[in-house]
Amino acid sequence: MTEEKDNHFEVIVIGGGAIGLASAYHLEKRGCKTLVLEQYNFKNQLGSSAGVSRQYRIPYPEDYMVKMAMDAQPFWDELQSRTSRKLLDKVGTLWFGDPSVHSTEGNIAEAEQALKSQNIPYTTLTSREIEEQYHFKNLPDTYTGLFQADGASIDFKATIETLYEAAVQSRCVTLREKSPVTEIRQAGKLFEVITPEESFICEKLIIAPGPFVDNVVNLLNFKIEATYWNMSSAYFKKTDPKIQYPTWFVFQNAVGENGNQFYGFPGVIWDHPEYIRVAPDFVINPLSDPAERTLVANPQELAYTSEWIKNHMTGLDPVPHFTSTCLIALSKIANKELLIDFAPSYVPNHKNIVVYATGWAAKFTPFLGQILTQLALDGHSEFDITPFQLGYRFFKAI
């Protein structure tokens, strides 16, 4: 990590979570003098990088998302070469439930069509086959499923630590934590980025502070159209030590007020190995601002999760342990999650300001770092990101 006193950088990355560190990782490969500013400590639990596990999966209802997941694989392989810790535990992805349900994750039938169009192998399953092969129980006869073998459980903690260590070891990258950006000034083609303790000059900006994106882009006189979720999570103790699950997601319509979508992971050696993580994929009390977040999981969401485990999973005690939250910003784009674009045209020097905002992006972490780097340095990406370049609709002037 460089200790130069010179405050001039080619690129300043605002946000030191997974995507910001992945951007620094690829900027370093280009020999780019880079500064990463993090408002909290690096590797904190206060934003969308919170927690230790994420799902990597291929099934999506859109062809371009399936392709993006496949395009991400070589970047995971390359990052894996930097560490002895296993980043992706390939246990497969199981989607099951009501085939008519559409959710934030997609739809089972549409995902099958997208997998077919991209020639991705998968297996279809009946309700009984899901119970027999994957330890679920009491599923309605009408439920169907698909299993895709390339799905994995991501050791997200190891991923972030690998990216962080790469930045620490780099001569091109400078890290500054406890450095919230309070002002962004422009002088010609240069930016002056001001924090409470220091100010820095750069030629290009990558803005990737997760759910805190509005705190930054408001300084450039625009905002993101987004909603905020304080996602709950918990671990459930194995009553059968041999029980194992793939990564999975269930599609259901809500019954009364009992919640609907749930997802889960296998037991993992890197965190509470005698437990299995299961979480609700719905929020009872959405937030209007990330400042409203809490580190305490919503008890009603956990209660619905426990009830679902009791009714439909085997080998687990339904009492939640090790509860936590993760703060997520989600775009208001129907069926689309990610916003990757330049700042709007009314912002001076907008083509030198790259913004990543909203969505479930952990599964693309090293790949997104490459995309943001190419946008910042080259003005375009070799990958087709047109489905995500929707700033003209979802960036609003203030």
**Which backbone phi and psi does 82 adopt, to 5 degrees?**
-90, -5
Query: Which pLDDT value is given to residue 255?
Result: 54
Closest-CA residue to 266 (of 159, 107, 363, 154): 154
| 3-state DSSP assignment of residue 222 | strand
DSSP state for residue 297 in the 8-state scheme: P
Mark residue 229 as left, alpha or beta (left: phi above 0; alpha: psi -120 to 50; beta: remaining): beta
| Pick from 307, 299, 205, 290: nearest CA to 256 | 307
Q: What is the pLDDT of residue 79?
A: 98
Q: What is the mean pLDDT of each run of 10 residues along the chain (398 residues)?
A: 69 98 98 98 94 95 95 98 97 96 88 96 98 97 97 97 98 98 94 97 97 96 91 96 95 68 94 95 88 92 96 98 93 79 96 94 97 98 94 91
What is the model's pLDDT at position 254? 67
Question: With contact defined as beta carbons under 8 Å apart, do 176 and 34 qualify?
Answer: no
Q: Which CATH number fits domain 8-49+157-223+336-397: 3.65.10.10, 3.30.70.1450, 3.40.50.12170, 3.50.50.60?
A: 3.50.50.60
Please identify which residue in the block is written with the tokens 């439920």: 143
Q: Quote the pLDDT of residue 59.
A: 96
Between CA 267 and CA 36 the distance in angstroms is 33
Residue with tokens 């000034």: 185
Identify the pLDDT of residue 375. 98
Its pTM stands at 0.95
Phi and psi, residue 321, nearest 5°:
-135, 165
Least Cα distance to 369 among 49, 18, 86, 2 occurs for 18
Question: How many CB atoms are located within 10 Å of the residue 85 CB?
Answer: 13
| Cα–Cα distance for residue pair 305/324, rounded to 1 Å | 14
- Cβ neighbors of 74 (< 8 A, separation 6 or more) are none
Numbered ranges of CATH 3.30.9.10 in the chain:
66-154+227-331
Orientation angle between helical segments 156-169 and 63-80, nearest 10 degrees:
60
pLDDT of residue 103: 83
Give the whole-angstrom CA distance, residue 363 versus residue 369: 12
Q: How far is CA 10 from the centre of its chain?
A: 26
Contact 147, 5 (CB under 8 A): no
d(CA 212, CA 209): 5
Exposed/middle/buried for residue 291 (C-beta within 10 Å: 0-12, 13-18, 19+)? exposed
CATH of domain 66-154+227-331: 3.30.9.10
> How far, in Å, CA of 66 to CA of 45, rounded?
29
Read off the amino acid at residue 238: K
193 - beta bridge partners?
A: 184, 200
pLDDT given for residue 2 in this prediction: 40
| 394 touches 331 (CB < 8 A) | yes
Separation of alpha carbons 208 and 220, rounded Å: 14
Alpha carbon distances (Å) from 386 to 209, 210, 383, 390:
22, 20, 9, 8
Task: Please give the helix or strand (H or E) that residue 157 lies within, else none.
Answer: helix 156-169
Q: Which amino acid is at 89?
A: D
> Where are the CATH 3.50.50.60 domain residues in the chain?
8-49+157-223+336-397
